[in-house]
């Protein structure tokens, strides 16, 4: 088991592992930071977006997110399952069949995630333009 470990902090949140308390805008503690890190994760985002209103199997997810390794997909799914955002259903058939779906909690996240994806789609051209501007300016300086 060299898989990345959840920090498995005991319920009743504390920050014993942290050298000094986080500040984050003076309002948040490390809990929020931790959760944010997880859901704002590169792969988590895609998984959540893909599971909107439907159930997908492991292989289907892997195919759709093409580029993800089975290791990272497994890891990501486990994290999301642990956080209660997705539900994992094992069908005792052979060959094995495992379905993944959003939980009610995960569904509430979806609209937010979708907003992020939509924003990206809408603004990708503007961002590309900004990058071009920035890069050409940098190049001319060099």
Partner DNA sequence: CGGCATCCAGGGAGATACTG
Partner DNA sequence: CAGTATCTCCCTGGATGCCG
The site for DNA (CB under 7 A) is made up of 1-4, 42, 57-60, 67-72, 74, 77-78, 88, 90, 95-98
Residue 16 interacting with its own copies (CB under 8 A): no
Given the complex with its own copies, which of 2 and 20 has the nearer CB atom?
20
Q: Which of residues 76-105 bind its own copies (CB under 8 A)?
A: 81-85, 105
**Residue 69 C-beta: closest distance to its own copies, Å:** 13
**How far is Cα 103 from Cα 49, in angstroms, rounded to an integer?**
13
Whether the Cβ atoms of residue 52 and residue 102 lie closer than 8 Å to each other: yes
Residue 3 interacting with its own copies (CB under 8 A): no
Token pair listed for 126:
């503007």
Residue 69 interacting with its own copies (CB under 8 A): no
H or E, element range at 87: strand 86-91
H or E, element range at 118: helix 104-141
Token pair listed for 118:
């939509």
Whether the Cβ atoms of residue 41 and residue 76 lie closer than 8 Å to each other: yes
Coil, helix or strand at residue 13: coil
Residue 133 partner contact from DNA, its own copies, none using kind-dependent CB cut-offs of 5 to 8 Å: its own copies
**Residue 46 C-beta: closest distance to DNA, Å:** 12
**How far is Cα 44 from Cα 72, in angstroms, rounded to an integer?**
10
Residues that bind its own copies (CB under 8 A): 6, 8, 10-11, 13, 18, 20, 22-26, 28, 31-33, 35-37, 39-42, 45-46, 49-50, 63-67, 81-85, 105, 108-109, 112-113, 115-117, 119-121, 123-124, 126-135
């Amino acid at each position: 088991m060299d898989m990345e470990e959840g920090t498995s902090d005991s319920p009743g949140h504390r920050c014993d592992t942290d050298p000094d308390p986080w500040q984050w805008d003076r309002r948040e503690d490390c809990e929020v930071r931790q959760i944010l890190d997880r859901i704002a994760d590169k792969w988590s985002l895609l998984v959540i977006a893909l599971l909107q209103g439907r159930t997908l199997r492991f292989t289907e997810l892997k195919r759709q997110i093409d580029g993800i390794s089975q290791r990272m997909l497994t890891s990501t799914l486990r994290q999301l399952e642990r956080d209660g955002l997705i539900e994992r259903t094992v069908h005792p058939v052979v060959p094995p069949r495992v379905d993944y779906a959003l939980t009610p909690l995960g569904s509430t996240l979806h609209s937010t995630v979708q907003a992020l994806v939509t924003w990206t789609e809408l603004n990708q051209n503007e961002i590309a333009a900004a990058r071009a501007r920035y890069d050409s300016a940098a190049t001319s300086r060099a």
